[in-house]
């Protein structure tokens, strides 16, 4: 999948904030991108016709070539049976290492899922995830740049301009771009309802 680096996004910001260091801009870009996708769930990836591994409890779901974390597991099935999203604290520690057909799962460190019971054999697994870039991500998919970069740029300008005591501090400009960012989030949600699963791709364990 084609990628875009934050260096390629800088020309969209530096003309408006010429005194802001590029390193600072690149620090804020992934933070805003993470917030954008956390709020819109636009970055979705699908697990299709994958399998569990016998005696393996945890599965890395972020091995997609990008520095991403799991925002939400939208749904998950094992052997065509719906899994219940739970928490490790809801499982009796005495049974935590029990094996069998999984019935529940939870997210570990925002990057993996942990199945309970631990699979005792190979089971087909399907699901759909909502992802977001990590706050230290250096690249994003090109489709993000093509469609949503204006919103991410406005969100970044908004956050930078509200920092107090800087050469580029500008409360009014921050308010303008905050409105543009929020409108971008709203537009993304509306468009997503019209184009369901537009950015779904398959990943493998």
Which residue carries 């569990």 as its tokens? 52
> Is residue 43 pLDDT above 60, yes or no?
yes
Confidence at residue 49, expressed as pLDDT on a 0 to 100 scale: 75
Confidence at residue 204, expressed as pLDDT on a 0 to 100 scale: 56
Answer for the pair 100, 70: CB distance below 8 angstroms, yes or no. Answer: no
Q: What is the pTM of this model?
A: 0.87
Q: pLDDT tens for residues 105-151? A: 999 999 999 999 999 999 999 999 999 999 999 999 999 999 999 99
Confidence of residue 48 (pLDDT cuts 50, 70, 90): confident
Count of residues making up the chain = 205
**Cβ-Cβ contacts under 8 Å for 164 (sequence gap 6 or more):** none
Integer Cα distance of 16 and 28 in angstroms: 15
Answer for the pair 146, 6: CB distance below 8 angstroms, yes or no. Answer: no
Answer for the pair 152, 182: CB distance below 8 angstroms, yes or no. Answer: no
Average pLDDT score over residue span 154-159: 98
Confidence at residue 198, expressed as pLDDT on a 0 to 100 scale: 47
Residue percentage of the chain with pLDDT more than 90: 84
Residue 130's SS3 state is strand
Q: Which residues pair with 5 in a beta bridge?
A: 139
Answer for the pair 34, 132: CB distance below 8 angstroms, yes or no. Answer: yes
Residue 126's SS3 state is strand
């Amino acid at each position: 999948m084609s990628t875009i680096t934050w260096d390629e996004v800088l020309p969209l910001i530096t003309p408006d904030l010429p005194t802001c260091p590029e390193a600072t801009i690149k620090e804020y870009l992934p933070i805003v991108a993470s917030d954008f996708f956390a709020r819109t769930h636009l970055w979705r990836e699908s697990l299709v016709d994958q399998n569990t591994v016998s005696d393996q409890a945890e599965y890395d779901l972020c091995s997609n070539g990008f520095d991403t974390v799991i925002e939400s597991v939208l749904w998950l099935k094992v052997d065509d049976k719906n899994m219940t999203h739970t928490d490790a604290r809801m499982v009796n520690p005495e049974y935590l290492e029990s094996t069998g057909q999984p019935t529940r799962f939870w997210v570990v460190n925002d990057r993996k899922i942990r199945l309970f019971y631990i699979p005792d054999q190979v089971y087909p697994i399907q699901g759909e995830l909502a992802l977001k870039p990590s706050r230290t991500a250096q690249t994003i998919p090109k489709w993000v740049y093509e469609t949503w970069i204006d919103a991410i740029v406005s969100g970044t300008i908004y956050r930078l301009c509200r920092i107090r005591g800087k050469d580029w501090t500008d409360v009014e400009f921050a308010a303008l771009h905050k409105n543009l960012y929020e409108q971008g989030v709203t537009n993304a949600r509306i468009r997503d309802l019209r184009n369901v699963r537009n950015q779904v791709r398959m990943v493998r364990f």
